[in-house]
Amino acid sequence: MTKRPFELTVEEIARAVREGRLSAEEAVSSHLERIKSIDANIRAFLLVLEDFALEQARIVDKKRKAGRPLGLLAGVPVAVKDNILVQGFETTAGSRILKGYKAAYDASVVERLKREDAVILGKTNLDEFAMGSSTENSAFFKTANPWNTACVPGGSSGGSAAAVAAAMCPLALGSDTGGSIRQPAAFCGIVGLKPTYGLVSRYGLIAFGSSLDQIGPFTRTVSDSVLALRVIGGRDERDSTSADKSVEEALSGWEAGIEGLRIGVPREFFIKGLDPEVEASVRGSIETLESLGARVEEVSLPHSRYAIATYYIIAPSEASSNLARFDGVRYAFRAPGGQGLEELYERTRGQGFGPEVKRRIMLGTYALSSGYYQAYYGKAQRARTLIKRDFEQAFRKVDLIAGPTAPTAAFRFGEKTEDPMAMYLSDIFTIPSNMAGNASVSIPCGLSKAGLPMGLQLIAPAFGEGTLFRASKALEAARPFPGLAEVA
């Protein structure tokens, strides 16, 4: 049976549009209809740019008819997490404090998507300022998991993950500070890449933790993830942390086989609290990689047990500084009433920020305060160095590290909202990679008995995306995933 346009992959759409077998307008219209038919149940999108998307698609079609060469993502509909700027459209970061703010410029990643003839379809929901693991912290509404709408899609990039899993778009961008791409990818049964820190520009990303944040793609196939990274990655002079490294260098050898690839399995990633179904599925995937020619051995990341504590000092400290700009003076929401500047700040931030954002700002401000800086922030940075060294030592023996992406499959709404620590532990296996700045990916590795996806996380040294994709591609071929979520 012929696939409908919304069922096609990124590569399939771009190829069909370039060859004239599918118009960009047809591809975009199919996805817009899909959104209209199912997003009332999922609520992945904060903003659907229907008129703008169709206008972009017609421009792509005119280019093809005029005989002009088309880009790598010709006619591909792309959703963008709503903490990434798209010029002329509202960008809220999931917060009331930015309600009504319209971006004055495009983020670098959006510029690069447009340059390659992608079509920006809309802005997706997220935990407020990317602070959360379930997309329950959005100031506007919750996003549901397409596999079971009683469950969360993960977070903070839950809207982007749900949109791709439900075939409302074949490609979406998210951001990952402590697991916010990989964890929702695992919960939604898709591929989620956190590139090496500095490989993708953060220019135009509303900052949460500047030394940790990284933009990356959600796709349904490994090859689509490679293609997306080719477009959005690379040096950007406007980002002072952008690495002087080409994407092609990072992707070197990604299509090679995995014969002889050394894969390390950290004993610290198989701990009490890891769901037995997740463990069985992850270990089964690792055994598959071994049967395909990889060599598997146990490794140790002894300081990874401090990763959660370290992260919840460093990330909130950086957030405390980054979010100080939202004060009612320059951006969007300003609380009415109040006497004087100090009261304006207090009322605006008190009404504009949600509970989780306030919790992290207060934690970070305390950690940076006089008399406590070295005791908390300074000590956390030293612990971060030890975590990074653990990875460096492990990568002297192995090429990749494999383990679970998250300790469980998707949980039900409300299950962890009353216990912040339980929510924070959802990222226990993803945070160490952000601390070290490594490349890492989550790929689907099975369904639980309840019919929910589970994810395998692969971690490579910095700029080792090619090695990540070598193993991911082999596993995808050997253990095909069921495919799109069955959405009513």
Tokens 């447009």 correspond to what residue? 114
The angle formed by the CA atoms of residues 112, 432 and 231, to the nearest 5 degrees, is: 10
* Mean local confidence (pLDDT), 98-112: 97
Amino acid letter at 289? Answer: L
CA pair distance 309, 240, nearest whole angstrom: 27
* Mean local confidence (pLDDT), 79-85: 98
Predicted local confidence at residue 424, as pLDDT? 83
Is pLDDT of 72 > 90?
yes
246 noted as active-site residue: no
Predicted local confidence at residue 488, as pLDDT? 43
81 noted as active-site residue: yes
Q: What is the pLDDT of residues 415-442, one digit of tens each?
A: 988 888 788 888 999 999 999 999 999 9
Predicted local confidence at residue 156, as pLDDT? 98
Predicted local confidence at residue 302, as pLDDT? 97
* Mean local confidence (pLDDT), 163-173: 98
Predicted local confidence at residue 326, as pLDDT? 94
Question: Cα–Cα distances in Å, from 61 out to 33, 193, 379?
Answer: 19, 30, 56
Catalytic residue selected from 95, 134, 160, 180: 180
Q: What is the pLDDT of residues 191-243, one digit of tens each?
A: 999 999 999 999 999 999 999 999 999 999 999 999 999 999 999 999 999 99
Catalytic residue selected from 29, 134, 156, 317: 156
Q: What is the pLDDT of residues 331-363, one digit of tens each?
A: 889 998 878 888 999 999 999 999 999 999 999
Predicted local confidence at residue 337, as pLDDT? 82
Put simply, whether the predicted model's pTM sits higher than 0.95 gets the answer yes
Predicted local confidence at residue 1, as pLDDT? 44
Predicted local confidence at residue 487, as pLDDT? 61
Predicted local confidence at residue 2, as pLDDT? 84
* Mean local confidence (pLDDT), 246-267: 95
CB 73 within 8 A of CB 227: yes
Catalytic residue selected from 81, 123, 194, 473: 81
Is pLDDT of 308 > 50?
yes
Predicted local confidence at residue 56, as pLDDT? 98
| Domains detected in the chain | 5-260+469-478 (3.90.1300.10), 306-380 (no CATH)
CA pair distance 302, 280, nearest whole angstrom: 23
Amino acid letter at 242? Answer: S
Q: Quote the mean pLDDT of the chain.
A: 96
Q: What is the pLDDT of residues 280-305, one digit of tens each?
A: 999 999 999 999 999 999 999 999 99
Alpha helices in 196-337 (DSSP H): 222-232, 247-250, 276-291, 307-322
321 noted as active-site residue: no
Cβ neighbours around 115 below 10 Å, total: 12
Strand order from edge to edge, sheet including 191-194 = 45-48, 119-124, 77-81, 171-176, 214-219, 191-194, 439-447, 453-460, 400-404, 262-266, 295-299
